[in-house]
């Protein structure tokens, strides 16, 4: 049975580890602004006081599942958990089944959040509306300490855990500041508005670690709809940097919502088309910079998609193709990480992404790519969204069929297939192809594989 934790029953905070092994948790002067929003601005000193107050009330445990929706409260909870010597668990979704799965993997855990959840997850600690600030010395943590375990989105299967230390995040944050060079202010803090959830690694890097460790102030909330984004960007005292995804960016443009002047737009989590990048630059009068990374690697490359096809690796990054994917070497990685992406590297070190090993299809001696098939589906006039994927089960001939889901209110399935036949070999035509009202995209616009299969079965 789910239960709400009584903070009064929590154990006292453990003794800090040796100071010689520790560094200050946050960067910058005590009065530098860390967060802003409709309720005002919070400086580093005020933030640390909130962190101390929450850390003193946390229960004794090894892990905490951080479910906070409000970005400022997520920041406070993340650091309070770290100060207590605990580890943040960052599930790819707040869906009850996903949270239960994470709790099952890490039984010595509790959940912490800022919303009234019905039903509440097991051992749920809901944050109070306001914390009683607690003064003290600057907060410190060990660089070798495990800050968080992030999980992949599940777009290619079961979410997988990835361990992240404070030291690794410090180095990767310096890399991200390099990735944003030219978009950040040189004479003060850059203000950031982010539409992505902080639990996602891209959101973690660009809207949590940057304000903790860099000259960045972040909007306290997570705007989602275009009108919310307009209000949040209006809260900024200087032109803000908008951290978003292709799904959110398209919604902003189609809504025709007016935004104040922007310092730039950063996009990730899904491929950004040249057409969308150019449309955004034309409409908002700023650069749209796409960053490339993963939960396993963090961000390691950048490009201006409206003008560039090749990706530029960040300082110290090496991209090494191999038969089963690509090995990524980076200063913040203790060892090379092999991604399933197939990359072609130019002599100057820049690279092109040619697909994923898992996306490659071979049927009747012919080859194709799921990514390329999806691009061709989306190129059909009248198709607003879509995805092509391969089914796990094989047919009577031992072939795993290709399926597709399409959002196309004005087209029939037969019309979509007829258009696909113009550019797709018949053996790769999706069968079945189902029309749906919307695809099951998560908060960052990705499509978990199990959600696609569930929607296809529901259509059947």
Tokens at 52, concatenated: 């101390």
Give residue-wise pLDDT tens across range 118-174.
888 889 999 987 778 899 989 999 999 999 999 876 555 567 889 999 999 999 999
- Cα–Cα distance for residue pair 318/322, rounded to 1 Å: 13
Give me the phi and psi of 187, to 5 degrees please.
-115, 25
Output the pLDDT for position 5. Answer: 37
**Contact (CB, 8 A) for 192 and 204:** no
Cα 2 from Cα 15, distance rounded (Å): 30
Per-residue pLDDT, 411: 94
**3 state SS of 275:** helix
> Where in the chain do CATH 3.30.300.30 domains reside?
364-459
Share of the chain above pLDDT 70, in %: 91
Boundaries of CATH 3.40.50.12780 in the chain? 7-308
Is residue 112 within 8 Å of 122, Cβ to Cβ?
no
Q: Decide if 208 contacts 328 (C-beta within 8 A).
A: no
In angstroms, how far is CA 405 from the centroid of its own chain? 24
Percent of the chain residues topping a pLDDT of 90: 64
Q: CA 54, CA 134: separation in Å to the nearest integer? A: 9
Which pLDDT band, with edges at 50, 70 and 90, does 248 fall under?
very high
Task: Report residue 434's pLDDT band, with 50, 70 and 90 as the boundaries.
Answer: very high
Q: Which residues pair with 33 in a beta bridge?
A: 43
What are the phi and psi torsion angles at 215 (to 5°)? -80, 60
Contact (CB, 8 A) for 121 and 67: yes
C-alpha gyration radius of the chain? 23
**Nearest-5° Cα angle at 172, 167 to 177:** 130
Coil, strand, or helix at residue 8? helix
Among the residue ranges 45-59, 75-89, 226-240, 446-460, the one predicted with the least confidence is 446-460
Contact 210, 218 (CB under 8 A): yes
Q: What mean pLDDT is reported for the chain?
A: 88
- Per residue in 263-308, pLDDT tens? 999 999 888 989 999 999 999 999 999 999 998 999 999 999 999 9
- The torsion angles phi and psi of 118, rounded to 5 degrees, stand at -130, 110
Lowest pLDDT segment from 123-132, 257-266, 338-347: 123-132
Other C-beta atoms lying within 10 Å of the C-beta of residue 203: 25
364-459 is classed CATH 3.20.20.100? no
CATH fold, domain 7-308, is Rossmann fold (3.40.50)
The mean-pLDDT minimum among 5-19, 137-151, 239-253, 417-431 falls in 5-19
Task: For 313-333, write each residue's pLDDT tens digit.
Answer: 999 999 999 988 899 999 999
Quote the CA–CA distance of 172 and 152 in Å, as a whole number. 18
How many Cα atoms occupy the beta-carbon half-sphere of 458 within 13 Å?
13
């Amino acid at each position: 049975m789910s239960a709400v934790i009584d903070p009064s029953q929590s154990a006292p905070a453990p003794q800090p580890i040796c100071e010689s092994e520790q560094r200050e948790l946050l960067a910058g002067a005590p009065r530098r602004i860390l967060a802003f929003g409709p309720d005002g601005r919070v400086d580093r000193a005020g933030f640390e006081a909130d962190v101390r107050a929450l850390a003193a009330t946390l229960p004794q445990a090894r892990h905490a599942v951080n479910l906070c929706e409000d970005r400022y409260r997520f920041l406070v909870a993340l650091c309070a958990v770290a100060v207590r010597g605990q580890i943040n668990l960052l599930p790819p979704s707040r869906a009850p089944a996903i949270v239960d799965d994470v709790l099952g993997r890490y039984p010595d855990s509790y959940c912490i959040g800022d919303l009234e959840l019905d039903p509440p997850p097991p051992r749920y600690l809901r944050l109070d509306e306001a914390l009683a600030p607690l003064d003290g010395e600057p907060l410190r943590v060990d660089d070798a300490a495990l800050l968080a375990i992030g999980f992949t989105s599940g777009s290619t299967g079961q979410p997988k855990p990835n361990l992240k230390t404070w030291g690794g995040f410090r180095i990767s944050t310096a890399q991200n500041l390099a990735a944003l060079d030219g978009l950040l202010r040189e004479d003060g803090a850059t203000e950031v508005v982010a539409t992505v959830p902080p639990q996602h690694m891209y959101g973690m890097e660009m809207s949590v670690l940057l304000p903790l460790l860099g000259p960045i102030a972040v909007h306290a909330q997570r705007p989602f709809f275009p009108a919310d984004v307009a209000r949040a960007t209006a809260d900024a005292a200087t032109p803000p940097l908008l951290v978003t995804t292709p799904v959110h960016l398209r919604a902003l443009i189609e809504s025709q919502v007016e935004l104040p002047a922007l310092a730039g737009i950063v996009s990730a989590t899904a491929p950004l088309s040249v057409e969308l990048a150019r449309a955004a630059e034309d409409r908002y009068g700023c650069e749209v910079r796409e960053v490339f990374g993963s939960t396993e690697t963090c961000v390691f490359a950048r490009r201006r998609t409206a003008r560039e096809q090749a990706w530029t690796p960040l300082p110290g990054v090496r991209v090494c193709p191999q038969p089963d994917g690509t090995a990524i070497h980076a200063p913040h990685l203790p060892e090379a990480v092999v991604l399933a992406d197939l990359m072609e590297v130019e002599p100057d070190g820049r690279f092109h992404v040619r697909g994923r090993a898992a996306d490659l299809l071979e049927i009747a001696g012919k080859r194709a790519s799921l990514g390329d098939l999806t691009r061709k589906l989306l190129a059909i006039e009248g198709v607003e969204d879509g995805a092509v994927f391969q089914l796990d089960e094989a047919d009577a001939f031992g072939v795993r069929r290709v399926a597709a889901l399409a959002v196309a209110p004005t087209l029939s399935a037969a019309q979509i297939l007829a258009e696909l036949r113009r550019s797709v070999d018949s053996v790769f035509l999706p069968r079945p192809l189902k029309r749906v009202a919307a695809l099951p995209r998560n908060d960052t616009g990705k499509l978990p594989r199990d959600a696609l299969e569930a929607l296809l079965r529901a259509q059947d």
